[in-house]
């Protein structure tokens, strides 16, 4: 189209307060100011002109022009003018929603680069990478009750079981658009990902059936390389257009909320890729990143590191986090790669990093940014969780800001994941020598508020699937997997499982392929699906398994020293329930880590009389278990054992977990 001559961009296009807050790094709705926005202005002839304002931060650029399909991609037509605080803007009459545009930025170095809009809310896919103008969303949300309740919730005090999802490979359709009907139908591994709207009812139904409380989405911010799984972001305000438009994502989240499922999004403020159209050398200088590669380049991922010491960069990232919470009704964010932000020497050798002003390795600017982030979310979005993927022993990640902590709601317990999987990989004959791998995590359990994750990271790069890590033949591998899941769901802390665990594939996850839904037709996999559903529902329905997560008195080992038999047993107490005969409400968990059944195995219990009911037997036939019959009840004998006043004699099935509760 041929557009009218642009109206010069006076300071009135952008408010002085907005620009001041941007300069301070504290504009909490920055996406309403920068980027492209529809406006109606009165032209020099007194007539109203409808179009878009384009506003960009590029303080060191020699020249910036907006080009698009509205001006034949002609950089001479619409040059942005300086406003204040390094921001430039222009009003272009006649531009409609859905127009493609880019910025032609002639940098301080004299090089002209074609850039996507850092605040663009929708981008096209390869090879164009143009941003796309958008009207304000008119999506009609249906989750009002959920959102009203969310403001009064705290994930620390609830049962939390998270189903981690990579949208592009959860389920795929064929090129003709056949989505294969309901979940569980094999629709082909190398076809097209479902759209946000297509996946919404299927994912909601599947997660509801399994009994998980939340879905966690691997990053769905726009990213150029699918093989990064979304962790190398170029569009920090844009849902990827691979799966549809922004309202499609709203529909997905709304659908999950209406099904009673919370939604957490992986968010990546630690680094960004160096793609030409992205943030790197944006105005011919290291605008968003550090100039010195010892600070500005990530050696592990060949990406660029944000300069957290620059107020405008902090404000950009803060606004991105708030944008996703506000515009998409998210229940929380999981912050990726926090350890790489905290340490200046992360993955660097001697001489490859620059100490802080005190000579230390702590990234003081990143620490202050993270504290500001968690504080603002706590104050502006009560009830929303912010979860750290932090792999070191940095103290106080989940401690309150007032106590000097970083203020996160929860932290991934990657040490537990590593040690637990190392134990389960061992041949059961040798597990007695490695039992400390299971018991060690309890020594630091209350140093933070944790999520026990068995995530996508353990199903890639040659690590194989969860099932492939389990020793033994097919039956033993599945029995080991059931026991692993029981251990995860019955010990303290929140839970996270990567999608497809319920199908127990042998092959490693591939982001370009659908999950192996055809495995659901296998009787043993179908039984595992039923088991995981029963386990997840049991976890939610029995407060002993979650209410005391942060209470040191809510967990006690009964016996963690029987290395000869590789049997572990423990108690989970509900500190919120009234005690009966001086004993808090509780459950007993017994794990037999070998394929040998155990007869008359005595377990100490905190009462001297009564009866316990069996709540879960991972070896039950309906779950694909063995022929070992387990009585549904166990009587307490007044025989002291394990320092307890009473005990039960149990039959322990092979490679199995049992959960008992005292009869009321």
Token couple for 87:
């921001």
pLDDT at 189 over 60: no
Q: What is the pLDDT of residues 14-41, one digit of tens each?
A: 889 999 999 999 999 999 999 999 999 9
Helices and strands (H, E) in the chain, number of each type: 14, 30
Residues 6+ positions from 366 with CB-CB distance below 8 Å: 308, 341, 342
What per-residue confidence (pLDDT) applies to 183?
42
* Active-site residue, from 18, 245, 289, 389: 389
Residue range 434-452: mean pLDDT, rounded: 95
pLDDT at 222 over 50: yes
What per-residue confidence (pLDDT) applies to 184?
36
Could you write out the DSSP letters of every residue in 35-78? EEEEEEEE-TTS-EEEEEEEEEE-TT-SEEEEEETTTTT-TTT-
* Active-site residue, from 312, 336, 390, 516: 336
pLDDT at 396 over 70: yes
Enter the DSSP assignment of 214. E
How sure is the predictor about 234, in pLDDT bands with cuts at 50, 70 and 90?
A: very high
State the Cα–Cα distance between residues 486 and 539, nearest whole angstrom: 10
What per-residue confidence (pLDDT) applies to 57?
98
Are the C-beta atoms of 40 and 48 separated by less than 8 Å? yes
CATH architecture label of 157-265+309-544: Alpha-Beta Barrel (3.20)
CATH fold of the domain at 11-132: Immunoglobulin-like (2.60.40)
pLDDT at 188 over 50: no
Question: Is 427 a known active-site residue?
Answer: no
Please check whether the two domains, 157-265+309-544 and 550-662, share a CATH topology. Answer: no
Question: Is 389 a known active-site residue?
Answer: yes
Could you write out the DSSP letters of every residue in 245-295? -HHHHHHHHHHHHHTT-EEEEEE--S-B---TTSSTTTTSS-SSB-SSHHH
Are the C-beta atoms of 617 and 642 separated by less than 8 Å? no
CATH number of 550-662: 2.60.40.1180
What per-residue confidence (pLDDT) applies to 180?
41
How sure is the predictor about 601, in pLDDT bands with cuts at 50, 70 and 90?
A: very high
Between CA 168 and CA 172, with CA 171 as vertex, the angle to 5 degrees is 80
Residue range 164-170: mean pLDDT, rounded: 97
For the chain, the domains span 11-132, 157-265+309-544, 550-662
How sure is the predictor about 578, in pLDDT bands with cuts at 50, 70 and 90?
A: confident
What per-residue confidence (pLDDT) applies to 579?
85
Place of tokens 């490859």: 352
pLDDT mean across residues, the chain: 94
Q: What is the pLDDT of residues 318-328, one digit of tens each?
A: 999 999 999 99
State the Cα–Cα distance between residues 2 and 509, nearest whole angstrom: 49
Q: What is the pLDDT of residues 48-84, one digit of tens each?
A: 999 999 999 999 999 999 999 999 999 999 999 999 9
How sure is the predictor about 176, in pLDDT bands with cuts at 50, 70 and 90?
A: very low
Task: Report the predicted TM-score, pTM, of the whole model to 2 decimal places.
Answer: 0.95
How sure is the predictor about 344, in pLDDT bands with cuts at 50, 70 and 90?
A: very high
Place of tokens 């301070």: 24
Length of the chain: 664
């Amino acid at each position: 189209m041929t557009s009218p001559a642009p109206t010069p961009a006076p300071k009135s296009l952008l408010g002085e307060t907005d620009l001041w807050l941007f300069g301070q790094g504290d504009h909490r709705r920055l996406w309403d100011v920068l980027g492209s926005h529809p406006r109606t202005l009165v032209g020099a002839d007194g007539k109203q002109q409808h179009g878009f304002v384009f506003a960009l931060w590029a303080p060191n650029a020699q020249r910036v022009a907006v080009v698009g399909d509205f001006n034949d991609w002609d950089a001479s037509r619409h040059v942005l003018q300086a406003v204040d605080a390094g921001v430039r803007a222009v009003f272009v009459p006649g531009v409609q929603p859905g127009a493609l545009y880019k910025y032609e930025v002639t940098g301080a170095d004299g090089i002209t680069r074609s850039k996507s809009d850092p605040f663009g809310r929708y981008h096209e896919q390869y090879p164009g990478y143009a941003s796309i103008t958008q009207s304000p969303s008119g999506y009609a949300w249906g989750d009002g009750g959920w959102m009203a309740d969310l403001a009064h919730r705290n994930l620390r005090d609830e049962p939390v079981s998270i189903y981690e999802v990579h949208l592009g490979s959860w389920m795929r359709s064929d090129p003709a658009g056949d989505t294969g009907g309901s979940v569980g139908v094999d629709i082909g591994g190398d076809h097209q990902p479902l759209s946000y709207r297509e996946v919404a009812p299927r994912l909601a139904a599947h997660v509801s059936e399994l009994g998980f409380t939340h879905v966690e989405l691997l990053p769905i911010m726009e990213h150029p390389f699918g093989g990064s799984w979304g962790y190398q972001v170029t569009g920090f305000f844009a849902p990827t257009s691979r799966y549809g438009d922004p309202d499609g994502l709203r529909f997905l989240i709304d659908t999950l909320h209406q099904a009673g499922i919370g939604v957490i999004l992986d968010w990546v403020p630690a680094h960004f890729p160096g793609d030409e159209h992205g943030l790197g050398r944006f105005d011919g200088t290291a605008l968003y990143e550090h100039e010195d590669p010892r600070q500005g380049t990530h050696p592990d991922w060949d990406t660029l590191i944000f300069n957290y010491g620059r107020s405008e960069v902090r404000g950009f990232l803060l606004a991105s986090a708030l944008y996703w919470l506000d515009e998409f009704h998210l229940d929380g964010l999981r912050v990726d790669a926090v350890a790489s932000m905290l340490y200046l020497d992360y993955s660097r050798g001697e001489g490859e990093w620059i100490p802080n002003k005190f000579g230390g390795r702590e990234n003081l600017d990143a620490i202050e940014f993270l504290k500001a982030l968690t504080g603002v979310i706590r104050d502006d979005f009560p009830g929303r969780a912010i979860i750290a993927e932090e792999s070191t022993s940095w103290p106080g990640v989940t401690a309150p800001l007032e106590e000097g902590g970083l203020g996160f709601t929860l932290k991934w317990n990657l040490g537990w994941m590593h040690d637990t999987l190392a134990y389960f990989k061992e041949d059961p004959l040798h597990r007695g020598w490695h039992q400390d791998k299971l018991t060690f995590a309890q020594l630091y359990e209350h140093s933070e508020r944790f999520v026990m994750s068995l995530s996508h990271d353990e199903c890639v790069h040659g690590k194989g699937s969860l099932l492939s890590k389990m020793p033994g033949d097919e039956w033993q591998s599945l029995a080991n997997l059931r026991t692993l899941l029981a251990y995860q769901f019955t010990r303290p802390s929140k839970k996270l499982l990567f999608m497809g665990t319920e199908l127990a594939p042998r092959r490693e996850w591939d982001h370009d392929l659908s999950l192996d839904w055809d495995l659901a037709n296998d009787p043993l996999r179908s039984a595992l699906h039923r088991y995981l559903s029963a386990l997840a529902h049991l976890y939610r329905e029995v407060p002993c398994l979650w209410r005391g997560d942060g209470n040191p008195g809510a967990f006690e080992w009964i016996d963690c020293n029987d290395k000869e038999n590789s049997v572990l047993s423990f108690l989970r107490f509900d500190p919120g329930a009234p005690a009966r005969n001086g004993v808090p409400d509780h459950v007993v968990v017994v794990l037999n880590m070998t394929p040998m059944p155990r007869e008359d195995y005595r377990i100490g219990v905190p009462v001297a009389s009564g009866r316990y009911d069996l709540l879960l037997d991972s070896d039950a036939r309906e779950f694909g278990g063995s022929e070992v019959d387990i009585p549904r009840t166990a009587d307490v004998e007044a025989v002291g054992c394990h320092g307890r006043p009473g005990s039960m004699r149990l039959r322990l099935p092979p490679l199995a977990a049992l959960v008992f509760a005292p009869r009321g």
